[in-house]
Structure 1
């Protein structure tokens, strides 16, 4: 039961972070290319802002990266934002 409660909160946090990142990517330079290194940087930035530099932030970052699609082909930031929104529905 405790695990189920913890997991629900983590999913809510992951979903909120995915949507916040998608919003930023839509609003700021949506036509520019998305890169794999940018994906990692965004995950670190948003989880650190939400949790500080703690073990909780590290766990949140790992969970967030599970849902953030990898960048294995050319894609714009705006298109990636659409994929993040779709991933948020599954978080």
Structure 2
């Protein structure tokens, strides 16, 4: 797993050339705890709602639902985008996709 994370990190620095995990797309600061909280909320949503991408219950809809249903104030469009991008980079690192 550490090697996969290193590959994903290399992809991020090659593509983004900025610390996008520190500052969200809106310019607001983020931290790892907030990003992890959004990832955990998404997993919980998929566990309770059921994983069914054909019926609109995939990762993207779970990320959106957890953003709008957040009562803690920790989850935002920035953390949603960060989780989405992290998953994308991990998938590309795993599969070797560009």
TM-score past 0.5 threshold: no
Q: In which range does the TM-score fall when normalised by the shorter chain? A: 0.3 to 0.5
Query: Where is the helix percentage greater, Structure 1 or Structure 2?
Result: 1
| Structure number with bigger Rg | 2
- TM-score (norm. length: structure 1): 0.43
TM-score normalized by the length of structure 2: 0.40
